[in-house]
Chains A and B, each alone.
Chain A
Amino acid sequence: MLEVRGLRAGYGQVEVLRGLDMAVATGEIVAVLGANGVGKTTLNKVLSGVLPARAGEIHFDGRRLDGAGPDAIVEAGLIHVPEGRRIFPNMSVRENLELGSYRRGRANRRVNLERVFDTFPRLRERARQMAGTLSGGEQQMLAIGRGMMAEPRLLILDEPSLGLSPLLVEEMFALILRLNASGLPILLVEQNVVQSLGIASRGFILENGILAMSGPAAALRDDPQLRRVYLGL
């Protein structure tokens, strides 16, 4: 479904991604893991077209997306729920969701809005409230709901558990599983290695802008080196 080959990208003199290969197949949850500063956010920026790739190819659903702008990428159905939520604080919850279907999914806006409200009853309660007044967890729900409004064919979730209480983190991962159960492929970019590998089918470990390790999630969970480096076991 999504295939990345030899991807290079960076800022000014600094090259952050140094030839990255990875793939997401139909219907699976793939976790991209790594510590701070290994290139996870840069990878997401390139995938969503905000930052241009310097080399390499991105294939999505049979189309080449490297070099495409963010609007064309949204149009293709590759939807990015960014780190830090990036909701519109000065607008109501409902307006935030409606803007999710600005480029894609506009025809089914009403139906999708109901579906998002059914998934997140809390958002329905707060539909008229300014998004900036929501709690962190609610804002994360809103960011995901906004992504769902664009009828994603693949959803990129960037650090969805960041800043949430342990209880909410549990809820968030349960939600990701539920979204995936309806057939939606998900690229989960996380620092939370244990829980991410718990729900993903495959994992990619980034180190210094290249792939350090990859494989089925279960195998990665049991890998002695990974357990030592990331889990301190």
Chain B
Amino acid sequence: MPLELIAEAVANGLLAGAAYALVALGLTLVYGVLHIVNFAHGALLSVAMFAAWGLHAAFGLDPYTAILPLAVAFFGFGYALQRWVIGPASHGDDGNTLLVTLGLSIVIENALLALFRSDTRTLGGDAGFDVVEIGPMLLSRPRLIGFGVALVTAALLWALLALTDTGRAIRAVAKEKLGAQLCGIDPRHVYAVTFGLGCACLAVAACLLLPTFYVNPRVGNAFVLVAFTIVVLGGMGSIPGALVGGLFVGLVESLGGLLLGESLGQLGIFLIFILVLLLRPTGLFGARA
């Protein structure tokens, strides 16, 4: 097999993995702090993609221009959702939280179905097919942009968690809720901020996916299934784990597609997933219990 072909598959896999990583980032953040698997993650991604699509259809707003306003809006949306819907409805019981997010995903999905029907939509135009020539490789321009934005987003998230008081409060509540309360930190606020950050990640991911992908009311689920795999692969709750895991899964999928044929590309993901579970159940970056 020609070397250029493999190099191109590697590059394309890494680029595709960046979008996975963003979706997984939101999921792992919420899991790490609230200790719940957010079943509404996929449905919220669908909402974000419809929002990005709607901004384009109604105002001609370019998805890349929409990243910042949509991320801010989704942060607020996520904050409100956790603070005034999910939090109060679960009465402090993790089992309830799980069911509430599952219920939310059903409500959201059906609301989208009622509003937009089950039609599949795209941005139209041919911007999604732009390529950039780098050496011998032809790389998709939207994916290249997506890769850069995903890395910047992950770096911003890391800086927020590591360097700001809000970030420290998030990490404090994740491990030691009572201790945090006695420092005057309000866990309800921290949970809502965390959920908001998770939603903001989804908004960024949606804007990056839209130029090369389609949108329909169930589109989020396809990504979230892979994102779950990434979260477990990287270590539940680990930010670097989600980033590295996402890139890795994109890489495996792309190489698998090249070597085994496009339809079997995802086979490799789950093979490696099972191997990780067997050999290192805490994930690549996960802390031992």
Residues of A within 8 A of B (CB): 48-50, 69-71, 73-75, 79-82, 85-91, 95, 98-100, 102-104, 106, 146, 150
Contact of A74 among B165, B169, B174, B184 (CB under 8 A): B184
Least CB distance from B263 to A in Å reads 42
Given contacts A75-B184, A99-B185, A103-B184, contact A87 B179 (CB under 8 A): yes
The proximity string for B residues 177-210 relative to A, scoring 1 for CB distances below 8 Å and 0 otherwise, is: 0111111111000000000000000000000000
Point out which of A81, A89, A98, A103 has the most chain B C-beta atoms below 10 A from its C-beta.
Answer: A103
Contacts A82-B179, A86-B178, A89-B176; A98 near B184 (Cβ below 8 A): no
Q: With A and B bound together, what is the CA distance between A69 and B181 in angstroms?
A: 9
Interface residues of B in 57-111 (CB under 8 A from A): none
Judging by beta carbons under 8 Å apart, are B186 and A99 in contact? no
Which 10 A-B pairs have CB atoms at the shortest separation, nearest pair first? A103-B184, A74-B184, A86-B179, A70-B181, A71-B184, A88-B172, A90-B175, A102-B183, A80-B182, A88-B176
Which one, A48, A75, A98, A106, contacts B182 given CB within 8 A? Answer: A48
Taking a contact as CB atoms closer than 8 A, the residue among A50, A89, A90, A103 that contacts B183 in the complex is A103
Identify 5 residue pairs between A and B in the complex whose beta-carbon atoms are under 8 Å apart, listed by A's number: A48-B182, A79-B182, A88-B179, A98-B168, A99-B169
- Nearest chain A CB to B162's CB is how many angstroms away? 9
Q: How far is the CB of A113 from chain B (nearest CB, A)?
A: 14
Q: CA separation between A100 and B176, bound complex, in Å?
A: 13
Q: Which residues of A contact B165 (CB under 8 A)?
A: 98-99, 102, 106
> Does B171 lie at the interface of the complex (its beta carbon under 8 Å from any beta carbon of A)?
yes
Extra contacts, 9 of them, besides A88-B172, A102-B169 (Cβ < 8 A), are A50-B178, A74-B184, A75-B184, A81-B182, A82-B179, A86-B176, A91-B171, A102-B185, A150-B184
Contacts of B174 in A (CB 8 A): 90
Identify whether the interface residues of B are mostly helix, strand, loop, or mixed: helix
Tell me the complex Cα distance, A91–B165, Å: 13
Shortest Cβ distance from residue B226 to the other chain A in the assembled complex, whole angstroms: 28
The residues of A that contact B176 with a CB separation of less than 8 Å are 86-89
With A and B bound together, what is the CA distance between A150 and B180 in angstroms? 13
Contact present for B168 and A100 (CB under 8 Å): no
Do B180 and A89 touch across chains, with their CB atoms under 8 A apart? Answer: no
Q: List B contacts of A73 (CB < 8 A).
A: 184
Residues of B close to A91: CB separation below 8 A:
168, 171-172, 175
Contact of B186 among A71, A79, A85 (CB under 8 A): A71
B171, B175, B178, B182: which has the most chain A beta carbons within 10 Å?
A: B182
Chain B interface size, under 10 / 10 to 19 / 20 to 34 / 35 or more:
10 to 19
B179 neighbours in A (Cβ, 8 Å): 82, 85-88
Collect the chain A residues with CB atoms within 8 Å of residue B186's CB: 69-71
For A87, A88, A106, the residue with the greatest tally of chain B CB atoms inside 10 Å of its CB is A88
Give A77 Cβ to nearest chain B Cβ, in Å. 10
**Cβ of A90 and Cβ of B182 under 8 Å apart?**
no
- Give min CB distance, B119 to chain A, whole Å: 46
Asked if residues B171 and A90 are in contact (CB atoms below 8 Å), the reply is yes
Instruction: Kindly state the separation between the CA atoms of A98 and B184 in the bound complex, as whole angstroms.
Output: 12
Q: Are A89 and B169 in contact (CB under 8 A)?
A: no
Question: Once the chains are docked, how many angstroms separate the CA of A75 from the CA of B180?
Answer: 14
Query: Are B182 and A70 in touch, CB under 8 angstroms?
Result: yes
Closest to A149 in B: B183
Residues of B with C-beta under 8 A to A48:
181-182
Residues of B within 8 A of A95 (CB): 168
Assuming the A-B contacts A91-B172, A95-B168, A99-B168, are A74 and B178 also in contact, with contact meaning beta carbons closer than 8 angstroms in the complex?
no
User: A98 contacts which chain B residues (CB < 8 A)?
Assistant: 165, 168
Contact of A50 among B169, B181, B185 (CB under 8 A): B181
Cβ–Cβ < 8 Å partners of A49 in chain B: 181
A103 & B185 in contact (Cβ 8 Å cutoff): yes
CB of B180, distance to nearest CB on chain A (Å): 7
B287 to chain A, nearest CB (A): 8
Residue of A nearest to B187 (CB): A70
C-alpha gap A9/B180 in the complex (Å): 22
Across the interface, do B184 and A102 meet the contact criterion of CB distance under 8 Å? yes
B103 to chain A, nearest CB (A): 28
CB pair B172 A99 closer than 8 Å: yes
User: Nearest Cβ distance between residue A154 and chain B, in whole angstroms?
Assistant: 14
Instruction: Give complex CA distance A150, B287 in Å.
Output: 31
Cβ–Cβ contact A150 & B178, under 8 A:
no
Whole-angstrom distance from the CB of B117 to the nearest CB of chain A?
46
Q: Is the CB of A74 within 8 A of B182?
A: yes
